[in-house]
Structure 1
């Protein structure tokens, strides 16, 4: 099959077209610019395996086109949807792909990028509620036009939707992957994304005839994210261990925490501004995420409601008196201010907590180090004696000194005992001992007593001491 720059293909009228620059190559096919038609591109499929299926599907798309014409604004063309304009064939007449209007991708960006305010500011995208409301209304209107033809996106998510940065018009690509209604045949979509998949389809998938219910659910999720700072409607704070941690699990369990009644198992995220939505908007969200799929608002119903808020003449969105960059619903508090205040308070608490932890760590280090310093100060240290004064402190003897003193003490005790007993016997044998004899015996008895006390009190203490 053709797939290189310079190759020739033919349109339905057998007019030759020259492939120029490769713009994109995906799993199913590649997109080339066309030399003879600068406002169109050609998508050529990689494999001939499913060409008969794709040819029938493309014919159905050509026969029933949605009312989404190319818009002209300020001398520029804004393609709303890259819908097929004709079939393409090779030199042998075999189907190879289709042509479609060229969409200025450089002037667009993914809807995903505008959901988070920080990322939007980095990319210089709009962050106000008015701009996001316009995007939501335009997306709903685009889907409503598709649904009137019974065509459905199915794999609808912010990453698959683009918008023009200057006008906020929606730009839809990869339309041959949509679920398409033919005369007597439904051509199903092949992809889904579980974070945007309705509860009834989480296990069994989307079957023919149920695609609109899926589109309605995914549209409501995206609208909720656009109007609530990117917060997914099934994100929240779990209350209990039986709450699924993943979004698909919560969707399957129908744990929508932002409804009028609320649920006990999953609480709303603190940063959510859903309580500052007007009642009509909250009612549509409650219906979209209820346990009854048939109650989900249609794309047209979303478009009608959101367009009323998006139009400046309606006066339903007003500028915030506290911050000119904020907008809020008339008669209701400013959700952006409330969110900013919450973030600021959280930052202060975190700073105080981190500061307290830092001081606590410092005190902890001080408490740990202080005993070490006190122990070092308590250890006796030999200091030089002042002139004319005796040293009042000395080092304790070491292990060798203690052993020596214990041995010497034992010998002295034995010697004193061996010397004193004979002296006593000699004194006792004297017929008439004089005062000198008594004095000599008293000195020997005193020496014996000192030896015994030294041995009993000092030697065991020196031996058992832990000090080196």
Structure 2
């Protein structure tokens, strides 16, 4: 879809779209020519156009309800909530494309993926340490717990839908794919992403509604990535000699270093598994091995907050960029650096 389009709201207000700034499996996101930080998402050819328009209209209306008002409170805004439905103004009615205007998260955040690799952290988040990942994990867990408390299900929680800033604050986009009930109508979650799909949902028919437990699985994956410098918990080649197929194949077969160290083969350069505090390691094992006891977002928030209490973090005596739990008597990042990769490189003996 080309830029230079104009979109119009139901009240006749128009916006001119500028550059395309993103795309996904369902739609395209464009800059908006406006003095406020706004973008527009357009969804060409949804399976049921009328149902999509109704979904967006309900989300816009719910923005004024007390529970959603609480989710949207604070600065910067944490959710790219639909502000107003729009549709393309030019062309035939049959060519109409629907969407909505929302807050431009780039105004306050960077893409979440920037926090997950050493190369992007070094350039785009130069002050980030393991403590930043810990704060981001806590912020994400708290936000998801609040979303669940208001009876929303994200359904497709993944890095592409998330935003982060240099302090570890987190924002969430693609609200139009959430699952929620409005009156008697259930607006089902429509999407799922390999690597962030709970094992009980892998292979189930499309359209099967997700639940909060599936969100909690994706949350555990994301928290692991935040604390393990981007490493997916189900990464690795099968140790039994089988071919590597995908993250989802490893999920289905329980191939996870934290659950069974002998189940996968990983490069020696990845962060050591024992860098995790014992309480968090146990939560990961439960999340990935026992769907019936999977920790909730609130469970994660409680545990992650405890790990940020005074005295729980230690700064390496060699490199001030190396922050780790006080439970580990020596620096895990120095251990990793000796194996050829430093997730948080810094100058030796710099002051903390």
Instruction: Classify the TM-score, shorter chain.
Output: 0.7 to 0.9
* Displacement after TM superposition at 1:130 (Å): 0.5
* Residue in structure 2 matched with residue 218 of structure 1 by the alignment: 218
Higher relative helix content = 1
Matches within 5 A, 1:312-327: 313-327=309-323
Which residue pairs with 2:74 in the alignment? 71
Once residues 214 and 142 of structure 2 are traced to their aligned partners in structure 1, the CA distance between those partners, rounded to angstroms, is 16
Are the counterparts in 2 of residues 239 and 264 from structure 1 also a CA contact under 8 Å?
Answer: yes
Gaps of 5+ in 1: 73-77, 345-468
Deviation at 1:214, TM superposition (A): 1.7
SS of corresponding position for 2:119 = helix
Q: Which residue of 1 aligns with 2:138?
A: 137
Matched with 1:128 is: 129
Q: How does 1:373-412 map to 2 (within 5 A)?
A: none
Secondary structure at 2:307's aligned position in 1?
Answer: helix
Q: TM-score, normalised by structure 1?
A: 0.61
Deviations 1:264-318 (A, max 9, x none): 433565433222322211111011101x3121111111122212323xx532112
Checking the alignment, whether the CA contact within 8 Å between 2:7 and 2:17 is kept in structure 1 is no
- Contact 2:156 / 2:193 at 8 angstroms: preserved in 1? yes
Quickly say closer, same or farther: Cα 1:239–1:144, change in 2 above 3 A.
Answer: same
CA-to-partner distance for each residue in 1:325-357, whole Å, 9 max, x for gaps?
21111131321122112338xxxxxxxxxxxxx
Note the 1:20-419 alignment, pairs <5 A. Answer: 20-24=16-20, 26=23, 27-28=26-27, 31=30, 33=32, 35=34, 38-47=36-45, 50-65=48-63, 66=68, 67-69=70-72, 71-72=74-75, 78-88=76-86, 96-103=98-105, 105=106, 107-165=108-166, 167-204=167-204, 208-236=208-236, 238-242=238-242, 244-259=244-259, 262=260, 264-266=262-264, 270=268, 271-290=270-289, 292-310=290-308, 313-333=309-329, 334-343=331-340
Please list every run of 5 or more consecutive structure 2 residues that lacks an aligned counterpart in the other structure: 342-352
- Going from structure 1 to structure 2, the CA distance change for 1:236 and 1:126 (only over 3 Å counts) comes to farther
What residue in structure 2 maps to residue 464 of structure 1?
none
- Structure 2 length as normaliser, TM-score? 0.80
Q: Residues 384-411 of structure 1: CA distance to partner in whole angstroms, max 9, x if unpaired?
A: xxxxxxxxxxxxxxxxxxxxxxxxxxxx
Q: Is the 8 A contact 2:7 2:87 kept in 1?
A: no
1:86, distance to aligned residue in structure 2 (A): 3.2
Contact 2:29 2:39 in 1 (8 A): no
Aligned match of 2:349: none
Cα pair 2:9 2:84 within 8 Å, conserved: no
2 CA distance for matches of 1:70 and 1:5?
33
Change (3 A) 1:286 1:330: same
Following TM superposition, by how much is the alpha carbon of 1:211 offset from its aligned partner in structure 2, in angstroms?
Answer: 2.8
How many correspondences in the alignment? 326
* CA–CA separation in structure 2 for the residues paired with 1:9 and 1:99: 10
